[in-house]
Structure 1
């Protein structure tokens, strides 16, 4: 009898250890997600794309990232350039002086489009805080559910926004994301990735962009609303004319 009990206990311990070994922490999940979406190719590539009649360019020069937004009007070429701690606006080839408050708003806008276009690359930035908050099923697939917040320093004006990512447990790709924002009256958005394509080893997707009609909706439960068709399709986020080239 003692042998049976000891064997049973030993089997339980081995099974528990195997289960623990199979569990991933949040950093491992993010690392695998970035690897599945292009990995090191993000770090040595120049990327350009069009979004809502504007051209966006991300370049690497001397090891530093430069983000651009180019807008064409009938008579002007407007170039917005964001570097780590600076922002410049050019009308054709002329540098324009603008107030710091407006420059900051433009800078955040440029950064936001580039950030979403390259997800999940960027989730290992120093200002990012990540927390695994659960494992769930959405539309029959299993996901790691990860909460992301930002430091006030280096986290931008919207540092207090909350993001939720759903990483597919089989592919580690972020099939869904949601965020709660506070500017312009606040709200919650839920995005569903579609039209996945790889261009020179880097993954790009478009999004169905949904909103919750009730601003009091709990962002942590918004995946249930999506699964029950209780969200309203607000817009589509589509990238066009994507080009990826090796940085010099």
Structure 2
């Protein structure tokens, strides 16, 4: 694995940064968002099934609502996460006995599915800090490698997590991603795109999910391990029955 790293030199001069130009990493992410759906992401309702659970996602520039619905031994469970917080109903009855710990766990679970389904759109969140690591190559394709970390303020419960994204130099598409996480004992994963569905102007991707033998493997080693065939396939991540509906713009 060869990664060409960039050296960033500070330019000092009158008015050079007065217009706060986009960094190279931000420009690469902007191009990726455009390639995956662009403005279609901003006012949209999306439905899909993931692992026998139905999700409905509403997004506008100022609001969001994520709905998860499934049936278990208690009946029809409906979780709603939006700007106002989280609530759960079972057979239409609101559950008021959830502890803060459970509310947090359910909220993170719902948000995680929505976040990954919408990638790379969420990478322009104000709390996301993007850094261009360099250029690299996988399976003969050239990529920009971007590191994403999060500010504590606005970065959510998982602000310490760290991500790597591989964006095609020519097509700007996100073919691989890897991430370091700390919940549930922590670990590191790498995802490879295994299938693509273009629905309603948005590119949705399925993934093969890989893990290393050692959960404490450094995030920066994941590409090398992937290329050498040293990662174990943990699961498949497939979105099914996708529907996209544009919402009216206010």
TM-score of the two chains, using structure 1 as the length reference: 0.87
Once residues 221 and 202 of structure 1 are traced to their aligned partners in structure 2, the CA distance between those partners, rounded to angstroms, is 31
Residue 154 (structure 1) shift: 2.3
Q: Report the CA distance shift for 1:62/1:112 in structure 2 as closer, same or farther (over 3 A).
A: closer
Unaligned stretches of 5+ in structure 1?
A: 1-23
For the residue of structure 1 that corresponds to 2:123, the secondary structure is coil
For the residue of structure 2 that corresponds to 1:27, the secondary structure is helix
1:103 is aligned to 103
Tell me the C-alpha RMSD between the 2 structures: 1.6
Does the 8 A contact of 1:108 with 1:156 survive in 2? no
Higher radius of gyration, 1 or 2? 1
Once residues 173 and 61 of structure 1 are traced to their aligned partners in structure 2, the CA distance between those partners, rounded to angstroms, is 23
Q: Report the CA distance shift for 1:204/1:62 in structure 2 as closer, same or farther (over 3 A).
A: closer
Q: Count residues with an aligned counterpart.
A: 225
For the residue of structure 1 that corresponds to 2:225, the secondary structure is helix
1:79 is aligned to 78
Once residues 66 and 201 of structure 2 are traced to their aligned partners in structure 1, the CA distance between those partners, rounded to angstroms, is 20
Residue 54 (structure 1) shift: 0.5
Residue 189 (structure 1) shift: 0.3
Written as runs of structure 1 = structure 2, the 5 A alignment for 1:81-160 is: 81-97=80-96, 98-160=98-160
2:170 is aligned to 170
1:25 is aligned to 24
Q: Report the CA distance shift for 1:62/1:127 in structure 2 as closer, same or farther (over 3 A).
A: closer
- Per-residue CA deviation, residues 66-122 of structure 1 (Å, 9 max, x unaligned), is 111111236621111111241111112211111122111111110000110110011
1:213 is aligned to 213
Once residues 175 and 29 of structure 1 are traced to their aligned partners in structure 2, the CA distance between those partners, rounded to angstroms, is 14
For the residue of structure 1 that corresponds to 2:122, the secondary structure is coil
Does the 8 A contact of 2:32 with 2:172 survive in 1? yes
Q: Report the CA distance shift for 1:163/1:207 in structure 2 as closer, same or farther (over 3 A).
A: same
For the residue of structure 2 that corresponds to 1:179, the secondary structure is strand
1:202 is aligned to 202
TM-score of the two chains, using structure 2 as the length reference: 0.86
Unaligned stretches of 5+ in structure 2?
A: 1-22
Once residues 112 and 99 of structure 1 are traced to their aligned partners in structure 2, the CA distance between those partners, rounded to angstroms, is 20
- Per-residue CA deviation, residues 115-146 of structure 1 (Å, 9 max, x unaligned), is 10110011001111110111101111101101
Does the 8 A contact of 1:190 with 1:211 survive in 2? yes
Residue 61 (structure 1) shift: 7.1
Once residues 89 and 60 of structure 2 are traced to their aligned partners in structure 1, the CA distance between those partners, rounded to angstroms, is 19
